[in-house]
Amino acid sequence: MAEQVQIHSTKSSKCVVSPTDYKKLGINVHKFGGSSLASSEQLQKVCEIVTKQTRLGDIIVVSANGNVTDTLLDAIHGRVNALSDIKSFYERLVSGLDIESENFIALINNDIESVRELCRHCPAHNDEILSFGEKWSANLLTELLGSYQCAAQAVDASNYLKLTSLHEYNQFDEQFADDKFSSLYQALWDGDKERLKRYVFTGFIARDNNDQLITLGRNGSDYSATIIAQLVKAKSVTIWTDVDGIFTADPNIVHNAKRVEHLSLCEAQAISELGANVLHQKTVTPLLTYKTEACIKSSFIEESSGTQITQHPVSSGHVKTITIKQSLTRIVVNNINELSARTIQQRVLLNQVASYASNFDRTLDRLTLYVAECDRFNTISIIQAAQYYPVVEKNNLSLISLVGQSIRQNQKIISKFVNRLERFAVEEIHYPANAHTLCVLIEDTQAINLLHDLHDTFFVLEPSIPIVVLGYGNIGKQFIRILQDNKAEIESSLNKSLSLLGVANSRNYALSRSCLLDNADVIDLLDQDGSSLNSVHEGAVNSNQRNEILNVLKDYVHKELVIVDLTASNDIANLYPIFAGNGWHLISANKIAASNHELAGQVEKLLQDNKRYWFKNTTAGAGIPIQSSIKKLKESGDKIISISGIFSGSLSWLFGQFNGQQKFSELLLEAKANAFTEPDPREDLSGNDVIRKIRILARDAGFIDAVENFEPALDEALLEGSLQSFWDNSSKIDEHYETLYQQVQKQGGLLRYIATLTKDELTLKLEIIEPSHPFANLNPCDNVFAIRSQWYNDNPLILQGPGAGREVTAAGVLNDLCDLLRSA
């Protein structure tokens, strides 16, 4: 049992008190919402909370059980089975409770008949009908507390709360309340401890200045609790609900949202003005007047800590939470003076219509209101009654707001906020009168993405530029894997969170639901057997037969985006000018665009104009930093004389393994199975793959005008026709290389496919070299590059390492991505 209030009295005389002395008791107010009272199990939890965390004399304010109020509204609107549903609900509810259930159900049945009669006279008795929900809830909880040996008394709040004005919902008759509460607590002054109780008040119910029963509208029970706390000068108010306080964002939307331990009253006011479901504006108003402590806790969680709300801030200049209000409508009134605009704003408020980001523009004589869709008709009617003609300018808008004590005085927060917004098509940035809030209006379709982005920015890591991976083959799968496996380390190094927007192959594309993939989403994109994108979870995969992903990416035109091209596709390469023109960064493992001087020049010019980057280090040498080395030598003032080496990791492996003991075609199949070759091995044997690398490096070195002299590594006659006919000619391919091998053996040398680049000539041919040659003793799949320059002439700069394989290529792409994200 909870601690009892200590009463001091004498037997010889009765205490004489003023009507306000009960306020000195330090009464605590506890409010339980409908979800906390919706089941027998939850009602029992509430009783445990009441017995353990309240004292005799404390006030318990209750909402209607579960969805009873909504069902009563259905009855008012004529739904035939509504009242039967209420009866069935309470029969189920009390069946698991230790109370006199037959008596309680008899009470319900009697009241339902009264409700049925009142429904015939609607709308005159709507409030009276709706009041039954809270009355049933208070009576049920009071009776159940008795089974816990916890003395309680049900109280009709309409006998205590009386408005002084028909329209002012925050003006209650304090003298009326004092008289009533003084009488209620008289047992305390009499010293009659046997009569001490906890008082279970109905929420939502009051009386108007004509003494007629009324209900207090949306969140009326929370409002009742804070009004009662103000009137009795309560020590604290605790609002028990289904969430454990205020979170950094709505945890139903942002799954990594964290509980906010403390809010100031100013921050609570800001949250309430922005339409937070947990904390309504009406609820906070009495707290601001009386400045008592408050707490929001979960009745579903044992030892709930909740969010504490106090008058003074614990910290300042930090974002505490990000709120979102969706499905708003923008209503505009043109040609209106300021006085009339303020009058309309006041009438909207008095009609309990929440207007978000409302503003009047003096320069345009324009009033703008953002209201919930359900309030649109009412708002338009109010404006028309004032003889003005509203225009519904746009629907389906969201208001996203940063809230924190004095955040508008922190330039870093403002700068970061504005910087993140540049990546989205925002409607308007709004600076409310409340100095603890920064707001933005954006279309509903983009709102969740922006909410995730801002939450990561201020509470996790600032999101990096969204990344789209084109190509989900051998390299693509490996890239996604190492991206996921090393995510935490990479993010720590970048001080940014990786933002993988989507992945595509030639058949399908998959986008994140939140457009910012976390670890779980990345894993989801990896099918269980690693064989195709088709097994990605239902709803995330869409056809990409005609590059449909580009239609989705139209929302990112002229916003930063990284296209990672891991394909070998001509079609994708030809889209590079579009990507660059859209203002997107490029990372290429695809060699086609980079090896086409005309196309590469066009792309580079567009990227330069848009201040974007193109990283393509894996197009030559996989993970070997050959391109960056050439660039650094040139930037340092050195002059490249020549570049030579073995540029094909696949052919390096093939000719390194070919020793006459195994057929060449068998080695070729083995290389293909290990992803050492291109999907079509003829790209390697024809020299096309190496030629592209030569042209890329020639462009980097400044050898664009050099003459080309390229020879294939296999007789051209064996490369013609279809891929199937190529494999059908395996015996001829084997004969060709067996003949070559015999020639090599006679000369005592080794067979290597060597490229040489100078400003005059670019050559590629199959050569027989001495065993002592620098290119002779390579590890399998190694590339080797020998750079001669003015500074490295007699002793060339040698770069050697794996030049083929999904792992090294994927790792090289990841290096490019990290470099780009650091630079952007």
| 408 DSSP assignment | G
pLDDT reported for residue 190: 60
Instruction: Report all structural domains of the chain as residue ranges with CATH numbers, in order of start.
Output: 21-231 (3.40.1160.10), 321-450 (3.30.2130.10), 463-621+813-823 (3.40.50.720), 626-803 (3.30.360.10)
pLDDT reported for residue 265: 92
Q: Is 61 exposed, middle or buried (0-12, 13-18, 19+ CB in 10 A)?
A: buried
Q: How far apart are CA 783 and CA 647, in angstroms?
A: 5
Q: How far apart are CA 87 and CA 66, in angstroms?
A: 13
H/E segment holding residue 267: helix 265-273
Could you report the per-residue pLDDT of 507-546, keeping only the tens digit for each? 888 877 554 444 344 344 444 333 344 333 334 577 888 8
Which one, of 644, 763, 759, lies nearest residue 705 by Cα? Answer: 759
Instruction: Report the C-alpha dihedral over residues 170, 173, 178, 183, rounded to 10 degrees.
Output: -110
Strand extents, DSSP E, 354-499: 355-361, 366-372, 391-403, 426-430, 437-443, 462-463, 467-470, 496-497
H/E segment holding residue 740: helix 730-747
Q: How far apart are CA 736 and CA 727, in angstroms?
A: 14
Structure-token match 């070195």, residue found: 701
HSE value, Cβ hemisphere, 13 Å, CA-based, for 565: 28
Residues 6+ apart with CB under 8 A from 162: 172, 173, 176, 177, 206, 207, 208, 209, 211
pLDDT reported for residue 278: 82
Q: What is the mean pLDDT of each run of 10 residues along the chain (824 residues)?
A: 33 42 87 94 95 93 96 91 95 91 93 91 83 96 94 94 73 91 76 74 92 87 94 94 92 92 92 83 86 90 87 87 95 95 90 85 94 92 94 94 93 92 90 89 93 92 89 89 88 87 87 51 41 40 84 88 94 96 96 95 96 94 89 94 92 88 91 83 91 95 95 92 91 92 91 95 94 87 92 92 84 93 88
Which one, of 461, 474, 484, 449, lies nearest residue 531 by Cα? Answer: 474
Residue 258 contacts residue 265 (beta carbons within 8 Å): no
Q: How far apart are CA 751 and CA 666, in angstroms?
A: 18
Q: Is 297 exposed, middle or buried (0-12, 13-18, 19+ CB in 10 A)?
A: buried
pLDDT reported for residue 3: 34
Q: Is 124 exposed, middle or buried (0-12, 13-18, 19+ CB in 10 A)?
A: exposed
Q: What is the pTM of this model?
A: 0.69
Instruction: Report the C-alpha dihedral over residues 519, 521, 523, 526, rounded to 10 degrees.
Output: -140
Residue 391 contacts residue 295 (beta carbons within 8 Å): no
pLDDT reported for residue 805: 75
523-549 as b/e: b if 16+ CB within 10 A: ebbbeeeeeebeebeeebbeebeebeb
pLDDT reported for residue 194: 60
Q: How far apart are CA 145 and CA 198, in angstroms?
A: 10
Structure-token match 């709507």, residue found: 126
Residue 608 contacts residue 737 (beta carbons within 8 Å): no
Could you report the per-residue pLDDT of 157-192, keeping only the tens digit for each? 999 999 987 555 568 999 999 999 988 887 665 656
Q: How far apart are CA 40 and CA 36, in angstroms?
A: 10
Q: How far apart are CA 734 and CA 748, in angstroms?
A: 21
The SS3 of residue 742 is helix
Which one, of 511, 510, 522, lies nearest residue 486 by Cα? Answer: 522
Residue 199 contacts residue 155 (beta carbons within 8 Å): yes
Q: How far apart are CA 519 and CA 529, in angstroms?
A: 18
The shares of helix, strand and coil residues in the chain, as percent rounded to the nearest 5, are 45, 20, 35
The SS3 of residue 146 is helix
Q: Is the peptide bond before 774 cis (omega within 30 degrees of 0)?
A: no
